[in-house]
Amino acid sequence: MSDPPPASSAADERNFDAELEYTYGFFPFLKADSLMLNALLAGVRPPGAQGSITYCELGCGQGLTLSILAAGDESGRYVGIDYNPAQITNASALAREAGLDNVEFIEESFANLQARDLPDFDIVVLHGIYSWISPKLRHDIVEFLNRKLKPAGLCFVSYNCAIGRASDLAFRQLLQAALRREGTPSPGAIAKSLAVADAFAEKGARYFAQNTATLDRLKDARTRDPVYVFHEYFNPVWTPFFFHEVAAEMAEAQLTYVGSTSVAWNYPDLAVPGNLRAIFESFPAPADQELLKGIWANQPFRRDLYVKGARSVMSPDEQIASLQALHFGLSRPRADCPLKVNVPAGVANLPDKPFIPLLDALEKSPVSGAELRRHLPPGAVGDQDFVRALIILLGAEYLELRTAPGQLATVRRRFDRVNATIARATDRSQDIFVVATPKNRLAIRMNPMSYYLYRAHQTGPDNRVGKAYRLLEESGRSVQYKGRPAPDRKTAEAVLAEQESVFVSNTLPRL
């Protein structure tokens, strides 16, 4: 990207239809502490040594993720940038009503970032952006990273992979042709476009028969919010990348690859099966190794972490001390943490020792890294085993960072304000259905019935099903029964009672 791409039109720079707001979502892997943990496990010194960070999200959408992250990090400064004025208005209103004075939302095109007076950032994240913007806008982002990301700062970028997604090109063209036939984009027009693809698939079109992953994505699209489907498949600009292509563009901003935030991916014995390891190891270039791992897994999507400048490698003692200062817990019930785990290479069987003692300790969270370290032998070998155990538990999605006990009361007060604000917005017909969880400074996305059961549980133990029914009714929503609104209150409350059983066993323990 050393030569800037040719100038693009205003429509190309916007890419998406600004009238169609994106859906509300929460993306836990964007949490600053989680990104810094990824760097730490790779032996790279993370930013924020002074105790506070500056954080920027490019393409922040409705700003829900950024507001929740800011609520959990009172000393940090958070900035979200998006081209869509309605989304920025919604994001600013939610943050203002929740009393969050450390987050700011800016309406701006990536093409005009250089004109903005912004601070230098410790962390810049781009989720769901890079594959959906023009080469000109990618160049503008690279220039922004070159100017505004601090030395040793971290950049997270996610994108669709050519390996697993190139077959979608014809699918996207079919959907867009069908939409042109319908005229202006609308939920109904999007549904009719999907129906055209459905008809071809059901009548035996060889394209779908021979590209089963694309057929699966068609089936998934039928279940999605039409606005999500529009942004995912109807954007006129879409580029699935190979790893080396994105790495080359990041290098223009002096960024060096740290690793995938899907941490198991970074370790050959977890990412490549044993019978291919010798071939894999005969390719010394890191970019070639990423290609081979992607081909093995038919990788559709990447979530990669880069650092500004050369990797600042920590000493083993510094790495262990930093990990011991953190607090951890289980991300799921202990019973749902078997020792047989899925990894990119296949299935890994974890040894009883040290993993059973570690999992048992994590069940009593929050537990400090120092406490976990005591479950392994002393010395350098034990230190290596400790780091390795954290990597495996994180890769198995059993492990999460927890709020330090001394910070929990402050975080809870801020999260209570966020949840109250979300509740009011949801009652005004905004489909947010997210609950911020102070114990890990994250959030849980729920379906509408679970969300209103949560709200009912907040009011006390009496008649929670009836309360949830009333809250749904007052918000203009209905209980769904066999894909349709329940025909009467008795049926609706029976569905809610069944849902409450699931909520109490699966969701309530995570709050």
- Is residue 211 over pLDDT 50? yes
pLDDT band at 99 (very low <50, low <70, confident <90, very high): very high
**What would the two tokens of residue 281 be?**
């190891």
- Is residue 380 over pLDDT 50? yes
Q: pLDDT tens across 495-509, in order?
A: 999 999 999 988 888
- Is residue 20 over pLDDT 70? no
- Is residue 475 over pLDDT 50? yes
Q: Order of strands across the sheet with 121-126?
A: 103-107, 77-82, 54-58, 121-126, 149-160, 301-308, 255-260
Instruction: Write the CB contacts of 198 (distance below 8 Å, at least 6 apart in sequence).
Output: 218, 222
pLDDT band at 71 (very low <50, low <70, confident <90, very high): very high
Instruction: Write the CB contacts of 264 (distance below 8 Å, at least 6 apart in sequence).
Output: 270, 271, 343, 344, 391, 392, 395, 396
Q: pLDDT tens across 399-409, in order?
A: 999 999 999 99
Please provide the distance, in angstroms rounded to a whole number, between the alpha carbons at the two ends of the chain.
45
Amino acid at 481: Y
What is the distance between the alpha carbons of residues 404 and 186, in angstroms, rounded to a whole number? 46
Task: Give the number of other Cβ atoms within 10 Å of residue 189's Cβ.
Answer: 19
The predicted model scores a pTM of: 0.93
- Is residue 1 over pLDDT 60? no
- The reported pLDDT for the residue numbered 187 is 87
Amino acid at 57: E
- The reported pLDDT for the residue numbered 462 is 85
**CATH superfamily, with its number, for domain 22-163+240-308:** Vaccinia Virus protein VP39 (3.40.50.150)
- Is residue 5 over pLDDT 60? no
- Is residue 6 over pLDDT 90? no
**What would the two tokens of residue 388 be?**
């390795």
- Is residue 140 over pLDDT 60? yes
Given a contact cutoff of 8 angstroms between Cβ atoms, the answer to whether 83 and 108 are in contact is: yes
Q: What is the DSSP string of 207-234?
A: HHHH-HHHHHHHHHHHTS-HHHHIIIII
- The reported pLDDT for the residue numbered 18 is 47
Give me the mean pLDDT over the 469-473 stretch. Answer: 92
Q: pLDDT tens across 107-125, in order?
A: 999 999 988 999 999 999 9
Q: Where does CATH 3.40.50.150 sit in the chain? A: 22-163+240-308
Strands 255-260, 442-445: pairing is unpaired
Q: Half-sphere exposure of residue 375, counting CA atoms within 13 Å on the CB side?
A: 21
Give me the mean pLDDT over the 377-405 stretch. Answer: 96
Given a contact cutoff of 8 angstroms between Cβ atoms, the answer to whether 490 and 423 are in contact is: no
Q: What is the DSSP letter of 313?
A: B
- Is residue 3 over pLDDT 90? no
Average pLDDT score over the chain: 92
- The reported pLDDT for the residue numbered 49 is 61
